[in-house]
Amino acid sequence: MIKVITLQHIYGKNRERMTDLLKTLVENELKNLEVKVEISITPENWAEFSLEGEDEEVSANFLISRYGTPAVKAEAGRTYRGFLQAFGDNAFLVNIGIPVRVETEELIALGSGRPAQLASRFGLIPHLPVEVEVFEVNKKVKTRFTKKQLDLWWSWKKAGTDRVIVNAATRSEIKSAIKKTGHGRDIYEIERIGLLEHAIVCRENTDGPGIVAAIGPRLKSEMGVVIGDAR
């Protein structure tokens, strides 16, 4: 048996539901391999997978490469996966296994404004997967978002359509909420950002905030909206 702690936080009010969803998602991704999957939650709220079977080593390597593992320390010059944790007065708070801060001066590439204003403008909500680079670890750890990460957010903002960012929901749950509210024709696609984090891509004439108002009551999720500048 091999155990793998992934960089997937178990969050939200119904932890058991989220754990079951993650197990189902990972089992589906490993369905062509000879491996039995079990999931538990570490004291730090990471998802830990126990893998047993002929392909347990291959499965473990897949999960590590696909989702990453929590860092135990930050080293200068390295790039880390993590997730958005909160938006403070002077920084974005990111968890890479340990908490790090992306200070206001490192957010200039996103434009002017306080961290909370920038988050709102780009539809950013807690638990979205992100990529940061550590460039100094002297008296304190200094980090910034990678160019790849910034380019992704700007591609959302410069698009010709709005996007609704959703956490703590599966693709099928989002599709069901859209269908039940009669907005199927207003949606172009649902992009997967993380295991349970998605972006709903609206059609050209669809109003993102309107989609949030419609499907919000049906999903136990936090939502953000990116208003496409090219609309």
Whether the per-residue pLDDT at 12 is higher than 80: the answer is no
Residues of the chain with pLDDT > 70, as a percent, come to 100
CATH number, span 158-226: 3.30.70.100
Decide which of 3.30.1360.120, 2.40.50.140, 3.50.30.30, 3.40.50.300 is the CATH code for 79-152: 2.40.50.140
Contacts (Cβ under 8 Å, ≥6 apart) of 210? none
- With beta carbons less than 8 A apart as the criterion, state whether 206 and 186 touch: yes
What digits encode the pLDDT tens for the residues 96-137? Answer: 999 999 999 999 999 999 999 999 999 999 999 999 999 989
Q: Residue ranges of the domains in the chain?
A: 2-67, 79-152, 158-226
- With beta carbons less than 8 A apart as the criterion, state whether 47 and 41 touch: yes
What digits encode the pLDDT tens for the residues 133-190? Answer: 999 898 889 999 999 999 999 999 999 999 999 998 889 999 999 999 999 999 999 9
Of the candidates 200, 207, 122, which has an alpha carbon nearest to the alpha carbon of residue 167? 200
